[in-house]
Structure 1
Amino acid sequence: MPTTHRGAGPMSKVSFPQTRPVDFAIIGSGSAGGILARELSTAGFDVVLFEQGPYRQAGDFSHDEYSVLFNDELLGGGPKSSGETFRQTEDQVATTPRMAAIRYAQTVGGSSVHFSANFWRFRELDFKERSLLGPMSGTNFTDWPITYADLEPYYTRVEWEVGVSGAPGPNDAWRSKPFPMPPLPIKSSGVLLEKAANKLGLNAQWEPHAILSQPFNGRAGCIKCGHCMYFGCEVGAKSSTLASMIPEAEASGHCEIRAESAVFRIETGPDGRASEVLYYDRDGKAQGQKARAVIVSANGAETPRLLLMSASERHPDGLGNSSGFVGRNLMFNAHAAVDGVFEEPLNEYRSVQVSKVIHDFYATDEARGFYGGGGIDARALWSATPIFHALVGMPPDIRSWGREFKDAITNNFTRQMTLACASTSIAMDRNNITLDPHSKDRWGRPALRTTYLDHDDDLAMANFLADRSEELMDAAGARKYWRHPVVPTDGGEHLLGTCRMGDDPKTSVIDRYHRSHDVPNLFLCDGSSFVTSGRGQPTMTIMALAFRAAEHIKIAAQNNQI
């Protein structure tokens, strides 16, 4: 086992000199970066993997609800630390939100550590909706340059190498191989959703999870603790890159994890190629790492921010931004929710968030009169942890103090479930990531400024799914249910589309193999690569893209084409 030192987790087994170029500097250790580090280091390339958060191990995670959910322990401290700002439109003054608009984990393994691990594949239509539906005025709606068939082998690799539990459903895309593990046991919410779906002629299928339903590849199976969403997994059953990929990268002897290292610039040489990664170390001192190639997998907000911070005389609008598309087309996925209380205890606080999901409304139906599709799942959500439940999960007709409030908390915590709706988000210029000219983060870097206002169709689809969820609550026999208003999105965890892939350098940032159109030894791979949003749960596709990108990058490097 690697040795440890206070506050920084395990020390890497290998350390590379900063002045000697490594083969690859990878920025971001999450769903994409962790896979790329494993694939390239086990192929014999020297890799430095940068992560601005600390190197936590499984034993460092806790169920401290106040620290994790309210003090943003895994999110780097929240807006006070990040300095981030938010506005709906460009004519508004961006202000610091109370709750982070850009929500991602700052820790080795990134957001794969704290996500719920619901794990859909995209379907064939997600990659070619523009061809199927035609143009959408005022948007940047277009097809991906790749197809589901191109990505299917890499979806399979994610399932079998990272570790996914599940069973095929009637609305899924085709697959070349079965799931490696059976689904997690059905929960009360899943039974109720299935009952309601059967009454309404719908299909409630198993929710796949990047969580082990049984021991797999030397890792323990799920212990049903119930702390998946926003929490790290203490037993390594959640298939984060921290648990599944990074140990193999370090074991190769070719990968150094450089945690608590906040990258602030990618330097380019006289030839226009990326040459050095500049970063602040854990003491706040500026450092640099020479590299033959750079891969940015920092997420759909931090990746464009870094490119914009790396502007130069050769790249005046930001590194790799000749198209002007860096930071544009931000997509979050639209959401809606309906809560219900039942007569008998459901005990939803146990086990994973979701066991069953309805995908009958996945495709766009022109009869609805608007674009979009999505899924409805049954889960704990507000009733997963007690403080969150008390502050957010109570019915709107219950005043938030006194005996009635206490009685409702006590009764509902074990009897409540949520029908959670995840839907599409349309790519538009007006939704973007830029650098805030006035606000700085704790390292002194220009803060993220998010500008976002949902397309009317996004909100219409969310309301459509909420309507269906009320019908499902009726059919499930809820004693009482209430709908959360669908309001404009004020942020999220799904950070997509801001450095999209495409064949045309004028309307995209990277090519279909994740190489920058402008800088030949710069690659971008994370949610920023997306062209459309899918219907929620993008992490499976991010990981599949990372396996695919790694394969092509390896071949290019071996042929001296980087």
Structure 2
Amino acid sequence: MTDIWAANAPPLVTARRDRYDADVVIIGSGAGGATTAWALAGSGARVLVLERGGFLPREPENWSPQAVFGEQLYHNAEPWRTPRGKRFVSAAHYYVGGTTKVYGASLPRLRESDFGAVEHYEGTSPAWPFGYAELEPFYAEAERLYRVHGHQHGAERPGDPTAPPRSGPFPHPPVEHEPYVADLERRLRRQGLHPFPLELGIDLAPGRSCLRCGTCDGFPCRVGAKSDAETRALRPALRRGNVRLLTHTRVTRLDTDRAGRAVTTVHALREGRPVTVTAGRVVLSAGAINSAALMLRSANEQYPDGLANGSGLVGRNLMLHNSSVVVAVDPRRRNPVTFQKTLAVNDYYHSGPSGRYPLGNLQLMGKVRPEMLPGACPHGLRAGLTAHSLDWWVMSEDLPDPDNRVTLAPDGQIVLRREPTNRRAHRELLRAARRMLHRAGYPLVLAHRMGIDATGHQCGTTVAGLDEARSVLDPLCRSHQLRNLYVVDGGFFPSSAAVNPTLTIAAQALRAARLGGLLD
């Protein structure tokens, strides 16, 4: 049987074995895991990535709203539950590249203030164990890796008023607005607002592959133009010679040595067959919810409450953002846009119109299609509505609460308890959005509040900090208690802020790989 580390061995491991060995094993191939693999590529370390799913196929259905939303063709996650036993389908997607295969490619940095303690109507968002300046070089590297398009603030065209300091310009210019959105930008500026081009990871460079199609946000990209973790990070890493990938491999448990000081064995099922993996260092990047669940499943004599859970915080402080979809309708005007998701508004990020507390972020979504609206509504009405609608994602910070948490049912199934926090801020942000849109010429503004199944922005379940009694990880994502275990996904976030988390996960993955001792 061919050694998977032989010079001529393929990076996608096909050899069927009961045991594999590596220097670094990475569990999960989403933004955290794939970016970590990219950072370790070419290092000489034998890096093995374990992904519970396979490759998401490129096929005509990628661009079909009926297949993607109506039939939920690519939803392959198991049902999760609430504490009352209600089952729901989460936003998790188990593929190479993780949930980034269907994300909207919005890749903003957190604001500089997000790294400090921030007062809100209903509590205080805690400070991070490091500041924005420490992450900034890695933000810049992550933007280059994920080909982020954005706008450098300038007097001739003012940008985001909350934009943090930068060491250099964006790697690529902003994605241009279509005429309908450009007109919207002018209408918003006349209100004294500061709309700006949304930071997006898509391939619009010379020789570009992006078609600016209408099926980007929420859809897989059939042409590989979206900056997902597979396309931008993992595939290049696999070409470097020291990174290997095992697909269809679901990790079930992590074992430690008798002293409980190091992870010794990773247990998994590969296409239903038990396998074990040993490695000097283990990087857990399964997503904040699944990573916490795996640590809870791995309880042992040394860690009866869950692996590396001396603080009691594994699974706690789950944050998902307070999010709503807002559909603004002008019956007098059709919306002819194809690629709508190019504009955002942060004027209410640090304070609202009636107070000093933060409200959050507004950003355009990909164009809503009739198949995305509730099925009880007649198709003709849905089609007429979406033909005239402008569609927004409205997002406020979700504050950490230890009672919002991941637990396990007796059968091992994931249970999520989540009572939204900071709801007053979100209600005020929705009022501000309605007022803004009415003034922009939209007489009908409808809002739909997202529920517990909107788990795309999950964070906080393995929080990083300086005090091991109050955190699970150190500031470089290494476990306080198991010095060869790292958790590199949204779980490390002490707070959720009010922008999309993917770029911050990628930047922290680069920082942890470079500075956290993964190559020692």
TM over 0.5: yes
Displacement of 1:367 in angstroms is 5.8
Partner letter of residue 318 of structure 2? L
User: Is contact 2:180–2:336 with CA below 8 Å preserved after alignment?
Assistant: no
Tell me: CA distance 1:298–1:13, structure 2 relative to 1, closer, same or farther (3 Å): closer
1:18-62 superposed Cα distances (whole Å, 9 cap, x missing partner):
646310110010001001112113211111101111123545872
Displacement of 1:13 in angstroms is 6.3
Displacement of 1:143 in angstroms is 0.9
2: distance between equivalents of 1:149 and 1:232? 34
Which moves more between the two structures, 220-229 or 44-53? 220-229
User: Following superposition of structure 1 onto structure 2, how do residues 104-503 of structure 1 map, counting pairs within 5 Å?
Assistant: 104-130=92-118, 133=119, 141-168=125-152, 169-171=159-161, 172-188=163-179, 190-215=181-206, 220-272=208-260, 273-282=262-271, 284-342=272-330, 343-348=332-337, 350-351=338-339, 353-364=340-351, 368=355, 372-381=358-367, 383=368, 385-389=369-373, 391=374, 400-401=377-378, 406=380, 408-438=381-411, 446-455=412-421, 458-478=422-442, 480-484=443-447, 486=449, 489=452, 491-503=454-466
1:410-447 superposed Cα distances (whole Å, 9 cap, x missing partner):
43333211233111000001111111124xxxxxxx11
Partner letter of residue 86 of structure 1? T
TM-score (norm 2): 0.90
SS in 1 for 2:413: strand
Tell me: CA distance 1:74–1:45, structure 2 relative to 1, closer, same or farther (3 Å): farther
Pair 1:38-2:44 in alignment: no
User: Is contact 1:189–1:378 with CA below 8 Å preserved after alignment?
Assistant: no
Instruction: Show the counterpart of 2:23.
Output: 23
SS in 2 for 1:437: coil
Displacement of 1:206 in angstroms is 0.7
2: distance between equivalents of 1:336 and 1:14? 43
Tell me: CA distance 1:96–1:134, structure 2 relative to 1, closer, same or farther (3 Å): closer
Pair 1:526-2:489 in alignment: yes
SS in 1 for 2:371: helix
User: Is contact 2:215–2:366 with CA below 8 Å preserved after alignment?
Assistant: no
1:351-407 superposed Cα distances (whole Å, 9 cap, x missing partner):
2x41111101111469637x54311123345x2x33224x36xxxxxx934xxx62x
SS in 1 for 2:176: coil
Tell me: CA distance 1:420–1:135, structure 2 relative to 1, closer, same or farther (3 Å): closer
SS in 2 for 1:357: strand
User: Is contact 1:199–1:475 with CA below 8 Å preserved after alignment?
Assistant: no
User: Is contact 1:127–1:146 with CA below 8 Å preserved after alignment?
Assistant: yes
Partner letter of residue 451 of structure 1? R
User: Is contact 2:20–2:276 with CA below 8 Å preserved after alignment?
Assistant: no
2: distance between equivalents of 1:366 and 1:464? 9
Displacement of 1:234 in angstroms is 1.6
- Sequence identity (%): 27
SS in 1 for 2:146: helix
The gaps in structure 1 that reach 5 residues or longer are 1-9, 88-92, 393-398, 439-445
2: distance between equivalents of 1:31 and 1:422? 21
User: Is contact 1:304–1:327 with CA below 8 Å preserved after alignment?
Assistant: yes
Partner letter of residue 518 of structure 1? Q
Partner letter of residue 338 of structure 1? V
Displacement of 1:196 in angstroms is 3.1
SS in 2 for 1:222: coil
Pair 1:84-2:80 in alignment: yes
Instruction: Give the CA RMSD over aligned residues.
Output: 2.5
2: distance between equivalents of 1:13 and 1:259? 8
Displacement of 1:83 in angstroms is 3.5
Q: How many positions carry a matched residue from both structures?
A: 502
Tell me: CA distance 1:468–1:246, structure 2 relative to 1, closer, same or farther (3 Å): same
Displacement of 1:276 in angstroms is 1.3
Tell me: CA distance 1:317–1:339, structure 2 relative to 1, closer, same or farther (3 Å): same
The gaps in structure 2 that reach 5 residues or longer are 1-9, 153-158
1:180-222 superposed Cα distances (whole Å, 9 cap, x missing partner):
1112220355324413322221100110101122248xxx332
Aligned equivalent of 1:508, options 444, 459, 471: 471
Higher helix share: 1
Displacement of 1:481 in angstroms is 1.1
Instruction: Show the counterpart of 1:552.
Output: 515
Instruction: Show the counterpart of 1:443.
Output: none
Displacement of 1:344 in angstroms is 2.7
Instruction: Show the counterpart of 2:7.
Output: none
